[in-house]
Amino acid sequence: MAAVTIIGGHGKIALLLARQLSDYRYDVTSWIRDPEQGADIEEVGASPAVLDVESLSVEEMAEAFAGADVVVWSAGAGGGSPERTVAVDRDAAIRSMDAAVAAGVPRYVMVSYIGSGPDHGVPEDNPFFAYAQAKTDADAHLRGTSLDWTILGPSTLTDDSGTGRIEVGDDLASGNVTREDVATVAAYVVKHAVFARTTVLFNNGETPIKLALDAIV
């Protein structure tokens, strides 16, 4: 079965995703910064790798990606300083893309957000600007690579139980979507290479996830 590397492995979406992929018999490696989080990674069926993307070079990341078939970026600065947001959500993400290319990893799935893009509309004096711009820059870089990329743009995240239903579309207004449903969307696109070079913007909705995703490819 395919090997998947999840960057930002201890995040809520990443843990849910690792569990789903492990249940599908994927070989999942989850990158974490804190070795004490290793037990949580193992509990969801993945293998922990203690690696700090903020400090790793492209070459070091490429070495760590050896054997991976898919890289999933689910890391983030988590509302830290603007400087750290840029360092993680833009700079480290871009290094990981370049490393995936160097390592010969064919596919890359980015967990972004629904508003990412040059028209994100967040003013520079807004605390959210650093994140919006960092994700915009990272997504643009990914689209320019030779990778078979998929960019996921979920709307506002909630910790409610997954519904198994979403709505997708390029002109969606931002709504809400559960982290569990985001993980299910990510697992589905990992499993299906047909979503290469596709951007998926989505909220919770009325359509079963499989049907909603299959309708856009």
| Helical axes 129-143 vs 93-103, angle rounded to 10° | 20
pLDDT at 142: 98
Q: What is the pTM of this model?
A: 0.97
In contact, 97 and 37? CB cutoff 8 Å: no
Contacts of 9 (CB under 8 A, 6+ apart): 15, 18, 30, 31, 32, 37, 41, 46, 48, 49, 74
Q: What is the DSSP letter of 159?
A: -
Q: Which of 209, 213, 195, 177 is nearest to 12 (CA)?
A: 177
Look up residue 78 and give its two tokens.
Answer: 């988590």
**Whole-number pLDDT of residue 163:** 98
Domain extents for the chain? Answer: 3-214
Question: Along the 217 residues of the chain, how does pLDDT read in single tens digits?
Answer: 799 999 999 999 999 999 999 999 999 999 999 999 999 999 999 999 999 999 999 999 999 999 999 999 999 988 779 999 999 999 999 999 999 999 999 999 999 999 999 999 999 999 899 999 999 999 999 999 999 999 999 999 999 999 999 999 998 988 999 999 999 999 999 999 999 999 999 999 999 999 999 999 8
CA angle at 62 for the pair 58 and 64, rounded to the nearest 5°: 120
pLDDT at 132: 95
Q: Residue 174 has what pLDDT?
A: 86
Which CATH topology does 3-214 take? Rossmann fold (3.40.50)
User: What pLDDT, on a 0 to 100 scale, did the predictor assign at position 173?
Assistant: 87
